[in-house]
Amino acid sequence: MVSRQITRVLFVAALVVAAAPSVMAERLVQTQAEGVEAKVRTELVTERAFRAVTFVVDGDVVTLNGIVGSIGVKADLIATVLEVDGVGSILSNIEIFEAESDVKLGEQIAAFIRRYEYHSVFDNINLNVENGVVIVSGEVTEPFKKEGIEKAVSYVGGVRLVENQIEVLPVSGTDDRIRTDIAMAIYNDPLFSKYQEGNRPPIHIIVKRGRVRLTGVVLSPVERVFAGNIARQVSGVRSFRNELRVESAR
């Protein structure tokens, strides 16, 4: 009888010893998850744009839920959480704020681009907006402008996706000289001197391998024709297209 009791005690003790590593492992996982949760919460609270986001931690997987203002903010959110020590992967259920209308969204994006500090009279940007998806096209003189404009657009509230179709114009000393000569000839002419007062002159000069296009807006048909005549006369112009629009007010 005593022998059986001793055997039973030893058996129970063996079970306890065997279970101890498993319990310790579970507690370790729980502690690690709590640590990850605290770190993620700190990051979300710190950034105002993330404060409407909730999350669940399961091991090293973080599931994000909620709504943010734009695709740019969503990308920042995911990148921020991935940088948290202990986070291995993310499941995103993040939705993006819906803009009032595509027209309003397009107007906001156009205003952002006009304020972009590197957008010059030698660049041309076109926009198409449909259901929050923005297609950005046109031409710029430097690669960093293409990237910068895409990034700026991605942070406009309501933008769900940005398709960047901007062309970077080829490097050419001859094209640079043509651009400068046309800009000087147009904006130094008395008819167009009034446009020098604004931060963003409205006539844009696009040059690619000697082929010239004028884009933008002017206030009268006379200005449109006169600007075209000036551009055509510049040395080195191989072909010319006048795409200036006439608007009664800009």
When pLDDT is averaged across residues 5-28 and rounded to a whole number, the result is: 50
CATH of domain 173-246: 3.30.1340.30
The reply to whether 102-168 and 173-246 are identical in fold is: yes
Predicted local distance difference test score (pLDDT) of residue 33: 60
Three-class secondary structure of residue 215 per DSSP? strand
pLDDT digits (tens, 9 = 90+) for 113-150: 888 888 999 999 999 999 999 999 999 999 999 999 99
- Residue 40 near residue 64 (C-beta atoms within 8 A): no
- 167 forms bridges with which residues in the sheet? 139
Predicted local distance difference test score (pLDDT) of residue 209: 97
CATH 3.30.1340.30 fits 102-168, yes or no: yes
pLDDT digits (tens, 9 = 90+) for 26-53: 554 455 567 788 888 888 888 888 988 9
Predicted local distance difference test score (pLDDT) of residue 22: 58
Q: Which two tokens stand for residue 246?
A: 């006439």
The secondary structure of 84-144 as a DSSP string is STT--EEEEEEEEPPPS-HHHHHHHHHHHHHH-TT--TT-EEEEEEETTEEEEEEEESSHH
Choosing among 3.30.160, 1.20.1050, 3.30.300, 3.40.50, the CATH entry for 2-96 is 3.30.300
More confident residue, 207 or 7: 207
Predicted local distance difference test score (pLDDT) of residue 32: 58
| Domain map (residue ranges) of the chain | 2-96, 102-168, 173-246
Predicted local distance difference test score (pLDDT) of residue 36: 82
pLDDT digits (tens, 9 = 90+) for 164-217: 999 999 999 999 999 999 999 999 999 998 887 766 789 999 999 999 999 999
Other beta carbons within 10 Å of 82: 12
With a cut of 60, say whether residue 103 has pLDDT above it.
Answer: yes
Predicted local distance difference test score (pLDDT) of residue 25: 46
With a cut of 60, say whether residue 11 has pLDDT above it.
Answer: no
Rounded to an integer, what distance in angstroms lies between the CA atom of residue 219 and that of residue 153? 28
Task: Say what the pTM is.
Answer: 0.79
Predicted local distance difference test score (pLDDT) of residue 250: 45
Question: In the chain, how many H helices and how many E strands?
Answer: 6, 10
Predicted local distance difference test score (pLDDT) of residue 37: 86
